[in-house]
Structure 1
Amino acid sequence: MNVKILLEYDGTAYCGWQRQKNALSIQEVLETAISTITGEKVNVIGSGRTDAGVHALGQVANFKTNTRIPIDKLPYAINSKLPEDIVVKHAEQVAEDFHARFCAKSKIYTYTIYNSKFPSPLLRKYSYFYSKPLDINAMKRAAEKLVGIHDFKAFMASGRPVKSTVRHLQRLEVVQNGDIVKLEIQANGFLYNMARIIAGTLLDVGIGKKDADEMTSIIKSKDRNCAGKTLPPEGLCLVKVIY
């Protein structure tokens, strides 16, 4: 049967989702745990490759298995073999042709900025600390200009070639709650480091380094050097995958 699972994980200790030869990945740990309880060699397909240090509240994956473990008991069985920083929250049987990556319609990420005079020891692994005041209204205006179907080549880091750099950025909101500034980003797909570069560009607007109206020209430039820096991974979290 084809099993779809919902995952939450703290990415701090891992090289990212994808299995690598010389570093520990979420995929490897998960495949090892599932193989241990099923006695099968399994290939776990994720909805996307979160990078090193990136977290997930709602990562989705699927794998094929012949296990006789009841589907409602499967999360408990898998979790018994997983470390504390990875948890399977739900499992269900899906159609044989379901593919966690190719069937996804869109994904929602959040990027969290901790904007305060002093850093927070409790939030240091889950946010980017920035001590100077931010112009939230300017960041919101800039965000609006990025929404839509655009060529986001200027917001892509080199290293992962793709057929097309056009993406549909469906929603980009800047939400402030006290010292927490959260960027909520929904798109039909993300280029390599796209969310973190968008966050870095909006931060530049917030500190007055860039103007909100520059977003259009940055998109048109297709030049990575025109956008902001890539913010660190710890502030990024995959919140939901929509099918």
Structure 2
Amino acid sequence: MGWFIGSEAGTSASSRIALCIEYQGTGFNGWQAQRSAAVSTVQEALELAISKVADQSIKVYCAGRTDKGVHASAQIVHFDTTSERPLKAWVRGCNALLPKTVVVRWAKQVDENFHARFSAFNRRYCYLIYNNKTPTALLQSLVSPHFFELNEKSMHEAGQYLLGERDFSSFRGAGCQANTAMRNVIDLKVSRDGDFVMVDIKANAFLLHMVRNIVGALLEVGEGRRKPEWMKQVLELKDRRQAGITASPEGLYLVEVGYPDRYELPIAPWVLPFFKSH
């Protein structure tokens, strides 16, 4: 095959490699590896491919564990290996072995202090809604259909009440293992391009289901059932029962992870041809 799969290359002292991964979450039971062999996850597919290229068992660490059905255009992972491979071999070798719905976009050697999760200082998610009374067949599982007309300007106004470092208990999913509900939302925008409405949110970190719970509340505002200032009230109540539904995982994308400039990681722009305003 020509991409150093198996034992075609040598070994040396351990080195740390960072990868940018793009994947379609449909068909996977989330990111995190499960104990059951019958359950398919992105982590397991990636570790299997990297292990074959490295000719040794590899464990990867990611920037953020996505739920079942959630997609990513720029998930960042790292792994340690004693196998020597050109960077292009990690990319092309893994892509030759991975399912078509998982792609390695780039590879870069990083120093031992880099950690995909703990070195990151922010994450950005986008939630894409198809706002039309007629569902789309071509974009099934890639967008979240919503049949009632949405006012994206009211949704954007409501989202501004969430900016800053706050207690997000009202948007925290059951089973969340985070030590605190305090999170810093850096930016939140809601925009429209034709029938597509996008919620674009960046924070230092996210709680379990936090983005989907925020989107669920914004949908109530967008439909006109709540005023934008209701979002401030929900936040202050610190009660998950007051915040409305959890939006479906379809349409949610991890699109960016921020790291200090000293790591010099490549930028992988997110491109969706059917949405122009991002």
For 1:49-88, list aligned pairs within 5 A. 49-88=65-104
Output the CA distance in 2 between the equivalents of 1:5 and 1:54. Answer: 19
> What pairs up with 1:135-146 in 2 under 5 angstroms?
135-146=151-162
8 Å Cα contact 1:4/1:61 also seen in 2: yes
Tell me which of 224, 227, 237 is aligned to 1:221: 237
Which whole-Å deviations, capped at 9, do the CAs of 1:117-150 have from their partners, x for residues lacking one?
2011112211111111112221111011111111
Task: Determine whether 1:152 maps to 2:168.
Answer: yes
Aligned position for 1:241: 257
Pick from 86, 94, 104 the counterpart of residue 110 of structure 2. Answer: 94
- What letter corresponds to residue 40 of structure 2 in structure 1? L
1:12 is matched with which residue?
Answer: 26
Once the two structures are superposed, the pairs formed by residues 74-223 of structure 1 within 5 Å of their partners are 74-223=90-239
Instruction: State whether residues 74 and 91 of structure 1, in contact with CA within 8 Å, keep that contact through their aligned partners in structure 2.
Output: yes
Is 1:2 the counterpart of 2:16 in the alignment?
Answer: yes
Counterpart CA distance in 2 for 1:197 and 1:222 is 13
For structure 1, the 5+ residue unaligned runs are: none
Compute the displacement of 1:228 (Å): 2.1
Paired residues of 1:10 and 1:54 also in contact (CA < 8 A) = yes
Whether the aligned pair in 2 keeps the contact of 1:154 and 1:223 (CA below 8 Å) is: yes
CA distance in 2, matches of 1:228, 1:95: 44
Superposed CA offset, 1:89-144 (max 9, x none): 10000011211000001011000110012011112211111111112221111011
CA distance in 2, matches of 1:230, 1:190: 15
Q: Is 2:35 the counterpart of 1:21?
A: yes
> For each residue in 1:126-175, what CA deviation from the matched residue of structure 2 results, as whole angstroms up to 9, or x when unmatched?
11111111122211110111111110010011112211100000011001
Answer yes or no: is the 8 Å Cα contact 1:72–1:92 preserved in 2: no
Distance 1:180 1:113 in 2: 6
SS at match of 1:192: coil
Distance in structure 2 (CA, Å) of the matches to 1:74 and 1:19: 21
Deviation at 1:71, TM superposition (A): 1.6
Report the RMSD for the aligned CA atoms in angstroms.
0.9
Rounded to whole Å, the distance in 1 between the matches of 2:148 and 2:198 is 16
After TM superposition, where is structure 1 displaced by more than 3 Å over at least 4 residues in a row? none
Q: Structure 2: state its 5+ residue gaps.
A: 1-14, 260-278
Residue matched to 2:47: 31
Count of residue pairs brought into register by the alignment: 243
Are the equivalent residues in 1 in contact too, given 2:129–2:145 (CA < 8 A)?
yes
> Which secondary structure state, in structure 2, belongs to the residue aligned with residue 32 of structure 1?
helix
CA–CA separation in structure 2 for the residues paired with 1:24 and 1:225: 32
